[in-house]
Amino acid sequence: MKIKFHHILLTLLIATTGCKKDNYDAPSLKLTGKLVYKGEAIGVEYNQVPYELYQPGFGKVGPISQTFGQDGAYSSLLFKGNYKFTIPPNQGPFLWKEMAAGKRDSVAVSLTDNKTMDIEVTPFYMIRNANLSAGNGKVNATFNIEKIVTDANAKDIERVSLYINKTQFVSGGDNIAVTDLAGSAITSLSNIAMSVNIPGISPTQNYVFARVGVKIAGVEDMIFSPLVKLSY
């Protein structure tokens, strides 16, 4: 009888100590922010402009790679620690600070709690005062373009495009109609007017999403005005 009791005790002991979880907690700290130029958000294409976070000190070096949303926002769930934030070369419609030997600069991020950090970059152009409206089966847009980079790194406008889509994802790859304006046809950067016809949408809906994008010569990613939902 006594031996059996010992056995039960031993089994219970093993069972209770063995119940400890052997895995780590999931990352829980949130690093969020958006791409800005002097506080103003920069719109890009969804899932096309990547950023990388490096956490040095763990042997192998590899980035945590993610992409910006179409309003320029980003967010990562991370562990507590020190990170370096960077954007790979030739990505995004903006300039990123480079070191002497063509290496990309990085931003040090010390993460101890949830953190919001906006990423300040220098875009080649900004779309200002975009005014989009819908009516008579058309979407009309008027806007100004401001040339930000004017030094040796300046680039020309290849084209300006007005995109509309039936969902909130609006870009060169996701649209139901588009009007292009070649860069050579732009005489003045202020009061540019464009319009695009709204095609039949099935199933019918009485709204579209629209935004204007600038394609810069020699730069892959376009820069966009803020997204608007237009009802008609």
Partner 1 sequence: MKKISLITIFAILLGTGSCKKDSAFLDVPPKQVLPTELAFSDPALVLSILGDLYNRQRDFSSLDGYPIPNTSDTEPGWRTFADFSEAFPSENGSSFIVQRTGWGYGEWYIWDYGYIRDLNLFIQRATAATKLSDGDKTRFIAEARFLRANYYFEMVKRMGGVPLITDPLAYDYSGNVTPLQKPRAKESELYDFVISEAESIKDQLPNDVNEKSRATKGVALAMEARAALYAGSIAKYGAGTPQVSLPGGEVGISSSLASGYYTKALAAAQAIINGSAGSYQLYKVLPDLADNFAAVFLDKSSVNQEAIFVEDFKVNSGRVHGFTTNDQPFSISDEGLDAGRLNPSLNLVEAFEKLDNTYAPLATKDASGNPIYYTDQLDIFAGRDARLAGTVLLPNGSFKGKRTDVWAGYQLADGSILTSGDAGQLKPLPGTSTPVQVTGKDGVINGQEFRTQTGFYIRKYLDPAVGSGRRGRGSDVAFIRYRYAEVLLNAAEAAFELGQIPVAAGYLNQVRSRAGLTTALSPVDITFDKIVHERRVELAFEGHTLYDMKRWRLATAVWDGAPMTVTDLVTNIGKANKRNTQPYGLWPYKYYNPGNANNGKWLFKEILPSPVTGANRFQLGNYYSQIGNDVLSANPKIVKQPNQ
Binding site for partner 1 (CB under 8 A): 48, 60-63, 88-91, 102, 172-173, 175, 178, 218, 220
Tell me how crowded residue 224 is: count the other CB atoms within 10 A of its CB: 25
Alpha carbon separation from 18 to 22, 141, 143 (Å, rounded):
9, 66, 66
Token pair of 181 as six digits: 């304006």
CB of 48 to partner 1, least distance (A): 8
CB of 63 to partner 1, least distance (A): 7
CB of 115 to partner 1, least distance (A): 25
Closer residue to partner 1 (CB): 40 or 220: 220
Closer residue to partner 1 (CB): 137 or 218: 218
CB of 96 to partner 1, least distance (A): 13
CB of 52 to partner 1, least distance (A): 10
Closer residue to partner 1 (CB): 146 or 220: 220
CB of 173 to partner 1, least distance (A): 5
Q: In this structure, are residues 183 and 156 in contact, taking their beta carbons and an 8 Å threshold? A: yes
Tell me how crowded residue 119 is: count the other CB atoms within 10 A of its CB: 20
Closer residue to partner 1 (CB): 19 or 101: 101
Q: In this structure, are residues 34 and 73 in contact, taking their beta carbons and an 8 Å threshold? A: yes
Phi, psi (deg, nearest 5) at residue 32: -130, 170
Closer residue to partner 1 (CB): 156 or 220: 220
Closer residue to partner 1 (CB): 87 or 157: 87
